Every structure is written in C-alpha cells, then in structure tokens.
Amino acid sequence: MMVSAPARYLVFFQYFGTKYSGVMETSNDQSVVGVQNYLEKAAQNLKPVVPIKFHISSRTDTGVHALCNSAHFDIHRAPGKPAFNEKQLLHCLNYHLKPEPIRVLNAYRVTSSFHARFSALSRTYIYRLLMGCSHYSEIPVFERDLCWAPVGRSLNVPAMQDAAQFLLGTHDFSTFRSLNSETPFQSPVRTILQVDIQPSSGFLSQHYEHRELEFWELKFRSRSFLYRQVRRMVGALVAVGQGKLTPHHIKELLELKDSRAFPSNAMAPPSGLFLKSVEY
C-alpha cells in the first residue's frame, strides 16, 4: 500500500500530574500509566495508517504537573487524504481526552526536521511553596497536590535569594541530580539562566486571608535540567530558608560534585513542581 509523506505537528499540552506515573509512556498493564499513554490513545482516533508516536520535549516525574509541555508526532494518512488542519487536530485530541485532566492547548504544523526535545531553546519550571502551616492538615483542600507546605511559620527568603545566586550560571550539578539509568551517558554540566523567588497567590486565597498563609514561587530557567535537579535545588533552598543550611552551603554542595553529598530528605516533593513552558 502506498503511504503519502507524513505530516509533522508540534502540540503544547497541560496536565494535572497527580494521577499519572509521569509524562513518559509506560506499559499499559500498570495500574498507573503515563500522560503519553493517554495522548497516543486519543491520537489513534485520527485513524492514521501508522500508529502515532509522541516525542515529548520534557520528561516530568510522577506527581509533577505541566502548565505547558510539548511534543511532536507524525501522522501518516491514507493516499489522497489531506493533512489535518491544526483546529481539527486540537478538537479531536481534546474530545478523546475529555475524562482526563490533560488538555491540548495548541497544535502547529512543523517541518519534518523539527524535534520537540532537541529544538527547544529553554525550559522554565516553577515550584509553589505554602508557608504558615504547622501541620499538613492545614493545607487548603483546593491546594492539595499543587504545592509543598514545609512545616514552620516562615522562611528566611533573603537568605534563599542569596543562596540562589550560587546556582546561576554554568556548573557541574552532580550533587543536584538523582541517579537514574541515563546518568552515565549525560553530562552533569548545566547552565541556569534564571532563578527567581517571588511572593505568589493561592487559589481563592483572598477568601481565607485570616489564615495568614503565604504562597511563594521559585522559578528556574535553563536549556535543560538533570533528573530531579529542580526538586533538589528547591529542597536545598528551603533548607536555607529554614536555617538548616547557610547560603554558602549551596556553593559547597555544588563544589562537591557528588549526588550522595546531597542532604538526605531535603529533596522537595513532586506536588509543588510545574513545567511552566518550553521555549523554541
């Protein structure tokens, strides 16, 4: 059978990550599967001649959310059938994703040389912190799984901002990565283009002002990040904010270049982490 040249598309999509094993596909017989499994299942409704494979730009872990992730894929249609337009694609995918907290935001036709992962110029993550809870039961129900509430009344934010300066620029981030199967093949050197720590607002928080809850957002931008690097950086900065580490300890941790040197139990949980954007 003749197959006409495939059409390549770039899609931007978001998801509430709590119920997934991360964004990457898993075998379908697991009780919890990846966001990619649902995207590819929805895409088969486009009736392609060849099964559609999503190439995800940014891998996110179990429990991590995306305000905007991206992926590319090719659609092979039967000979004589025109390529889908972007609107058709968007409506079809979202229709079949309806029961899931996954939404395709935009679709663009791209050239066959475009690659969602390798063509990306940078990625931006934000991490949401909630201060003022002495116990996890005090987290507003609307914020559950969407922030981290480290125990304690407040954080020393100026100390955290001082510490964050040590993370900026190009470094060997070995101490700030968790080990996985890719570690031996990956350079630990990364360039952090931006670290910001800003006050933020909670969902509906104007309705419970009396509770003295404070939201903070940590923002990180780099061309790419190592496995769990953002969660380790956040955890270390929070430890500085709590007075468990000094800002200078961050510099020392970087210089040790050893993932085992990272303080135990200091990694931030996945719930507060959001992939905010992928820039091309």
Give me the DSSP letters along 98-126.
Answer: TTSSEEEEEEEEE-TT--TTTT--EEEEE
Indicate which CATH number applies to the domain containing 204: 3.30.70.660
Please give the single-letter amino acid code of residue 119: S
Average pLDDT over residues 190-212: 89
Could you tell me what percent of the chain has a pLDDT over 70? Answer: 98
Ligand-binding annotation for 125, yes or no, is yes
Mean of all residue pLDDT scores within the chain: 94
Residue 16: pLDDT above 90? yes
Residue 117 lies in a domain: no
Condensed to tens digits (0 to 9), the pLDDT of residues 120-145 reads 999 999 999 999 998 889 999 999 99
Domain match, 131 and 257 both: yes
- Mean pLDDT, to the nearest integer, of 217-238? 98
Question: Please, are residues 3 and 49 in contact by the beta-carbon 8 Å criterion?
Answer: yes
- Three-state DSSP class for residue 275: strand
Digit-coded pLDDT (tens) for 62-97: 999 999 999 999 999 998 899 999 999 999 999 999
Mean pLDDT within 243-261? 97
List, by residue number, the catalytic residues: 61
CATH of the domain at 27: 3.30.70.580
Which percentage of the chain shows pLDDT scores above 90?
85
Number of separate domains in the chain: 2
| Strand pairing category for 65-75 and 273-279 | parallel
Same domain flag for 89 and 165: no
Q: Is the pLDDT of residue 3 over 70?
A: no
Q: Tokens 């009780």 identify what position?
A: 31
Please indicate, yes or no, if residue 91 is contained in any of the structural domains: yes
Do 46 and 175 lie in one domain? The reply is no
Residue with tokens 């955890």: 235
Mean pLDDT of 23-51: 94
pTM here?
Answer: 0.94
- The amino acid that residue 259 corresponds to is S
Mean predicted confidence (pLDDT) in 9-37: 94
Are residue 99 and residue 226 in the same domain, yes or no? no
State the pLDDT at residue 1. 55
pLDDT of 103 > 60? The answer is yes
> Does residue 11 contact residue 94 with C-beta atoms inside 8 Å?
no
148-174: pLDDT as tens digits: 999 888 999 999 999 999 999 999 999
The reply to whether 190 and 241 lie within a common domain is: yes
Structure-token pair, residue 7: 């059409």
- Whether 259 shows a pLDDT value over 80: the answer reads yes
Same domain, 35 and 100: yes
Quote the pLDDT of residue 210: 67
Judgement on whether residues 173 and 234 belong to the same structural domain of the protein: yes
Tokens coding 249: 């300890």
Measured between alpha carbons, how far is residue 197 from residues 99, 177, 209, 261 in Å?
Answer: 35, 21, 21, 25
The predicted pLDDT at position 226 comes to 96
Instruction: Give the per-residue pLDDT at 28.
Output: 77
